[in-house]
Amino acid sequence: MFDRLKARGEAIGRAAAADRAARLAAAVRETFPGIAAESDAAGVTLRGRGLWRRWLADPALRWLGGLLR
């Protein structure tokens, strides 16, 4: 019984994490033009020209969790 409960909890957690990652990627695409955001099982990947420079200059890119509020 415990194994089923544990497996169910893990599945719920994975689904919630995937949903949050997809929402974050969508928010990044809307907020930051020129930055591509993709979500997968590993998390969210950002790509774009000058991304490192923009990350250093824009605090919103350093604290992406604020976009989920």
How many domains, the chain? Answer: 1
Name the helix (H) or strand (E) containing 27: helix 2-31
- Give the C-alpha separation, 12 to 47, whole Å: 29
| Residue 15: count of CB within 10 angstroms of its CB | 10
Q: What per-residue confidence (pLDDT) applies to 42? A: 85
Is residue 42 packed enough to be buried (19+ CB in 10 Å), middle (13-18) or exposed (0-12)?
exposed
Domain hosting residue 40, numbered range: 1-68
pTM of the model as a whole: 0.84
**pLDDT by residue (tens digit) across 3-60?**
999 999 999 999 999 999 999 999 999 999 999 999 988 889 999 999 999 999 999 8
Q: Confirm if 27 and 67 have CB atoms less than 8 A apart.
A: yes
- Give the C-alpha separation, 23 to 68, whole Å: 7
